[in-house]
Amino acid sequence: MTNKIGYSLAIGMAIFVTEATANIDEIVTVATRAEADLAQVIGSVSVVDDKALKLVSHAHVQQALSRVAGVNLHRGNGQEYLPAVRSPVLTGAGGCGGFLMQEDGIPVRAAGFCNINELFEANTEMAQRIEVLRGTGTVLHGSNAMHGVVNIVTPDISDQSSLGLEFGANDYGRVKFKSGTDTLGIAANFTRDGGYRDQSGFDQQKVSLRHRYKSQDLQIDSGLTATNLNQETAGFITGLNAYKDDSLVKKNLNPEAYRDVRSARVWSRISKSEQNYQLVVTPYIRYSQMDFLQHFLPGDPLEENGQKSLGVQVGYYRTLAQGLNVIAGFDAEMTDAFLKQSQDAPTNGPAFLQETIPQGQHYDYQVDASMAAPFMHLDWEVNDQLSLSGGLRFESMGYDYSNNMLTGRTRADGSECGRGGCRYSRPASGKDDFNNWSSNLGAQLRLSNSHSGFIRLARGFRAPQATELYRLQRAQQITDLDSESIDSLEIGLKGNSNLLSYKLAIYHMEKDHVIFRDSSFFNVSDGETQHRGVELELDYDINEQWSLGLSATQASHTYRNSTVLGGVDIRGNDIDTAPKHFGSARLAFTPSDRQSLELEWQSMGSYYLNPENLHRYEGHNLLHLRAGWSVSESMRLYANISNLTDRHYAERADYTTFSQQRYFPGTPRTAQVGLEISW
């Protein structure tokens, strides 16, 4: 009944707003890699623009993306998070494979080597805008673009310069700097956060450089982003509703936990244009390395991983006839990656864990990977009212895996563990190959000058992640995994006027060969899930001084396969960490061009903590207040208060057999003030 009400409300609002009428075009690149008018993109694309990013001045990317319908990032501690875009919050070794995270159109990580927190390797704090394609990507995206694509657009070259200083609770401080000339630009930020929990906090540095060369028919845009994160991590607190206990919320039960991350990406976009075509070649190089203590696992093992990769994106844009355009291209990359896991002390806890999780080295392997993918996409403006688009992509991915330890589930020295054997299992060296097709087909009908409706069909996929193939447990010695696939149907309405803009989408997605760890702790790919929802984004100017913004999501994410867990067949159950509804509403007051005030209501619905649907988090509602004052043309003051009413809540709630309910407690009321000087 709740779903029916949500759908009816959304459709009713859409009927109302289609009476409105003309607005300024907005340019995005997330759908086609080239600048495109947002109104002409067939599908659901949202943009958090420069104005909103300045207002939020986020310390964590979740604060900015909560303004987008369908996006539900759950913060961990420090800069950590778990992602959700038109999906439940996905966890596990390959959960991040459901989303494609990009910066300036370049995937932040190689396709088979994602990281669940990988947006902390992008310079989101200095972004010019953040683009989100909700739902399955286009044929220009490939592996991982199943539930959504997030593209961080770093600042373009500008002769404007600015310096920002921010201070806040818990020894928070940040310096932001941006400057440029006609051909060179830099955007950097340096952050120190003492953390509101005991022995927690982080130091973070991010720098982005841009360079441009331009001649009559050739343009070369180049970019570099380098990041460094040193984080002292606070882990879960345990016990039913522990996040409501003032004596627990600041405690850090894992003071030894940390995460150190370094990353760099360099790219050049070489564009050659003629009268009716454009050739774009984008070579890139990526590097990342991370060491972190896995405080959420028994024994607190240390993981060390790293990857080096190089690749190229080739796109050929040509006008074939009046209104008919083609994009043909080729993507390729090569990756050299490693992973090690070790434990420097005996495991604490029940005797079973002590015996099966040994001290010493658990994994040590290297993977060389290659990917190649040709694609073609067509856009056809049939007439002034109707536009069609469609595309096809073939992608081949290969892994060459080398195990640097003894094969099997023994200790590092070859001795056997008691109680049936060691938890961690190392497969023999070998090779794996995955070949996949993706496609999309869409139609958009212009209802008036400013309003349109669309329908879109898409098939997406992701190859198994390296960790799912080679980081095995218990008796499993080999995997037989298929690539995950998803089929998506989406219907939407969108439009704008001088006072009102809106985006409404209804979607239905079915995912097959879902990879998960079964009751025998084997990695298998026979899961099936279903995802349905309604999303509404609305911005309305009440008058010259007051405006209202809304991002609302009503969704249902369920298991379709029959699997017995804990004596319960989960078929038809809600997927854990999949709230039925969430969103935010924003009331803004702008008494003059120099002053602004925004009150944001952020709502999180309740959700189940396990597939058996036996334990639940009740959800929460938060208020945030933001204010800005331009003292002069060159000086701006601003202040943000998060969790204005000082509510007890959980950023993330979870359930495990040994720990039972566990939580990352939400931050109490905190204030942040800033000063920006520009010239």
Burial 402-433 (b: 16+ CB within 10 A, else e): ebebeebbbbbeeeebeeebbbbbbbeeeebe
Say if CB 172 and CB 166 are below 8 A apart: yes
Distance between CA atoms of residues 229 and 205, nearest Å: 7
What is the number of structural domains in the chain? Answer: 1
Shortest CA distance to 605 belongs to which of 624, 626, 622?
622
Distance between CA atoms of residues 79 and 243, nearest Å: 19
Burial 663-678 (b: 16+ CB within 10 A, else e): bbbbbbebebebebee
What amino acid occupies position 541? D
Shortest CA distance to 99 belongs to which of 151, 43, 147?
147
Return the pLDDT at 15.
33
DSSP-derived secondary structure for 310-329: EEEEEEEEEEEETTEEEEEE
Does residue 12 belong to any structural domain of this protein?
A: yes
Say if CB 387 and CB 380 are below 8 A apart: yes
Does residue 374 belong to any structural domain of this protein?
A: no
Does residue 381 belong to any structural domain of this protein?
A: no
Distance between CA atoms of residues 273 and 262, nearest Å: 36
The overall longest dimension of the chain from CA atoms, in Å, is 75
Q: Which residues contact 322 (CB under 8 A, 6 or more apart)?
A: none
Does residue 359 belong to any structural domain of this protein?
A: no
Distance between CA atoms of residues 566 and 659, nearest Å: 16
Q: How far is CA 526 from CA 168, 400, 483, 511, in A?
A: 48, 24, 10, 10
Q: How far is CA 111 from CA 4, 311, 362, 394, in A?
A: 37, 11, 25, 14
Does residue 379 belong to any structural domain of this protein?
A: no
18: domain CATH number is 2.40.170.20
Mark the ranges of the chain whose per-residue pLDDT is less than 70: 1-25, 659
User: In which domain, by residue range, is 464 found?
Assistant: 2-354+386-678
What is the reported pTM?
0.94
Does residue 369 belong to any structural domain of this protein?
A: no
* Lookup result for tokens 């359930």: 655
Shortest CA distance to 68 belongs to which of 537, 389, 642?
537
Return the pLDDT at 21.
33
Does residue 64 belong to any structural domain of this protein?
A: yes
Long-range Cβ contacts of 421-425 (<8 Å, 24+ apart): 421/356, 421/474, 421/475, 422/356, 422/357, 422/358, 423/356, 423/357, 423/473, 423/474, 423/521, 424/341, 424/357, 424/362, 424/363, 424/471, 424/472, 424/473, 425/472, 425/473, 425/474, 425/475, 425/476, 425/477
Would the CA dihedral through 459, 465, 469, 473 be positive or negative?
negative
Structure token pair of residue 573? 């159950």
To the nearest 10°, the Cα dihedral for 407, 356, 567, 93? -50
Q: Is 636 helix (H, G, I), strand (E, B) or coil?
A: strand
Compute φ and ψ for 247, nearest 5 degrees: -80, -10
DSSP β-bridge partners for residue 377: 327, 391
Distance between CA atoms of residues 572 and 570, nearest Å: 6
Q: Is 126 helix (H, G, I), strand (E, B) or coil?
A: helix
Say if CB 52 and CB 63 are below 8 A apart: no
Does residue 368 belong to any structural domain of this protein?
A: no
The helix (H) or strand (E) run that includes residue 6 is helix 2-17
Shortest CA distance to 554 belongs to which of 15, 6, 4?
6
